[in-house]
């Protein structure tokens, strides 16, 4: 009983302290509940992670979970010398440079041949009222040049997405959310990130915001910030390069929820929200993850 009282009084003291701190600090739960608009959301997320990890620079978020463990980071650096994902990158380059029946190439569909373009992807298209992704633009390019669109998730399409995104390597993510439609899509994506789902009843944020840097068994939980910047990425769990949306499917399944389809509006909005929040983190594709 004495112990109980001590625990109680000690914890009451701690609770009071933390209440005082939280007057200025950001509580992760609040991040998802307030409709404060994209700019404020980005600012609050960056501030939240800054408070969680004061020593970490924005650039380090490109490393994901590797930023939290020196030994793992060393392994990562070694793995990046011969990233198996580079094979997919080479495949993508070959496809990108192959001529269409009309003699043009994919480069003809993008400004500056695609250089630096992916840093602004995905984007909101106010004409079609939807979020547009690299996969959609690559397929649109095929269609306008007399080729059939590729099925989402097709390995050639993944390779093309990888190469197209790599043309922005080293550039900071720079996604825009402007106009009512764009903001609505952003908020949908944000809601998806915070919505509890599946048999385990977790949201994306339950782990990647609340417990970033902590361990689930032997795995370090990566923070939301920067998650988009290394996709398409090589994952040893996949033994292949694949996309951020493919990863969403895996996460949904892991918590016991039915995954959405690749390039569904749900996943595109989610992609849009996550990538916008990662603005400023440099793109490094294909990444390498466990």
For another protein, the closer of residues 27 and 102 by Cβ is 27
Q: How far apart are CA 162 and CA 233, in angstroms?
A: 8
Does residue 53 touch another protein according to CB under 8 A? no
Q: Terminus-to-terminus CA distance in the chain, angstroms? A: 47
Question: Would you mind telling me the total number of residues written for the chain in this entry?
Answer: 290
Count CA atoms closer than 13 A to 33's CA, side-chain side: 5
Instruction: Compute how many residues bind another protein; rule: CB under 8 A.
Output: 26
Instruction: Indicate which single residue of 21, 51, 74, 215 sits in contact with another protein (rule: CB under 8 A).
Output: 215
Instruction: Indicate which single residue of 55, 71, 217, 258 sits in contact with another protein (rule: CB under 8 A).
Output: 217
DSSP, collapsed to helix, strand or coil, labels residue 1 as: coil
Instruction: Indicate which single residue of 39, 77, 201, 236 sits in contact with another protein (rule: CB under 8 A).
Output: 201
Does residue 8 touch another protein according to CB under 8 A? yes
Contacts of 69 (CB under 8 A, 6+ apart): 220
Instruction: Indicate which single residue of 91, 206, 228, 284 sits in contact with another protein (rule: CB under 8 A).
Output: 206
For another protein, the closer of residues 109 and 221 by Cβ is 221
Which two tokens mark 285?
A: 């594709």
Does residue 238 touch another protein according to CB under 8 A? no
Pick the piece of the chain touching another protein (CB under 8 A) from 63-71, 166-174, 197-205, 279-287: 197-205
* Signed CA dihedral, 146, 147, 152, 155: sign only: negative
For another protein, the closer of residues 207 and 229 by Cβ is 207
Q: How far apart are CA 51 and CA 25, in angstroms?
A: 7
Q: How far apart are CA 289 and CA 64, in angstroms?
A: 9
Does residue 202 touch another protein according to CB under 8 A? yes
For residue 18, give the H/E element and its range.
helix 2-21
141 DSSP assignment? H
Does residue 81 touch another protein according to CB under 8 A? no
Does residue 34 touch another protein according to CB under 8 A? no
Contacts of 4 (CB under 8 A, 6+ apart): none
For residue 179, give the H/E element and its range.
none
Q: How far apart are CA 155 and CA 127, in angstroms?
A: 29
Minimum Å gap between C-beta 7 and another protein is: 5
Instruction: Indicate which single residue of 135, 158, 177, 221 sits in contact with another protein (rule: CB under 8 A).
Output: 221
Minimum Å gap between C-beta 206 and another protein is: 5
Instruction: Indicate which single residue of 107, 183, 210, 240 sits in contact with another protein (rule: CB under 8 A).
Output: 210
Catalytic sites, residue numbers: 251
Contact residues toward another protein (CB under 8 A) are 3-4, 7-8, 10-12, 14-15, 18, 29, 199-202, 206-207, 210-211, 214-218, 221, 256
């Amino acid at each position: 009983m004495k112990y109980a009282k001590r625990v109680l009084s000690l914890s009451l003291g701690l609770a009071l302290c933390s209440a005082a701190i939280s007057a200025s600090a950001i509580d992760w739960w609040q991040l998802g509940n307030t409709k404060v608009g994209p700019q404020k959301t980005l600012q609050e997320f960056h501030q939240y992670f800054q408070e969680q990890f004061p020593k970490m620079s924005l650039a380090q978020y490109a490393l994901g979970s590797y930023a939290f463990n020196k030994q793992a980071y060393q392994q990562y650096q070694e793995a990046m010398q011969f990233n198996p994902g580079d094979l997919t990158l080479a495949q993508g380059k070959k496809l990108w440079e192959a001529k269409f029946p009309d003699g043009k190439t994919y480069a003809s569909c993008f400004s500056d041949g695609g250089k630096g373009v992916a840093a602004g992807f995905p984007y909101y298209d106010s004409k079609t009222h939807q979020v547009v992704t690299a996969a959609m633009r690559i397929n649109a390019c095929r269609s306008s040049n007399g080729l059939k669109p590729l099925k989402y998730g097709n390995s050639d399409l993944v390779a093309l997405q990888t190469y197209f995104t790599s043309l922005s390597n080293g550039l900071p993510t720079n996604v825009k959310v402007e106009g009512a439609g764009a903001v609505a899509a952003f908020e949908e994506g944000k809601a998806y990130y915070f919505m509890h789902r599946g048999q385990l009843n977790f949201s994306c944020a339950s782990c990647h915001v609340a417990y970033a840097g902590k361990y689930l068994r032997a795995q370090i939980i990566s923070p939301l910030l920067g998650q988009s910047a290394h996709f398409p990425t090589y994952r040893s769990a996949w033994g292949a390069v694949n996309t951020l949306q493919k990863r969403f499917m895996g996460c949904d399944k892991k918590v016991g929820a039915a995954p959405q389809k690749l390039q569904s509006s749900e996943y595109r909005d989610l992609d849009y929200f996550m990538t916008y929040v990662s603005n400023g983190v440099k793109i490094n594709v294909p990444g390498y993850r466990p």
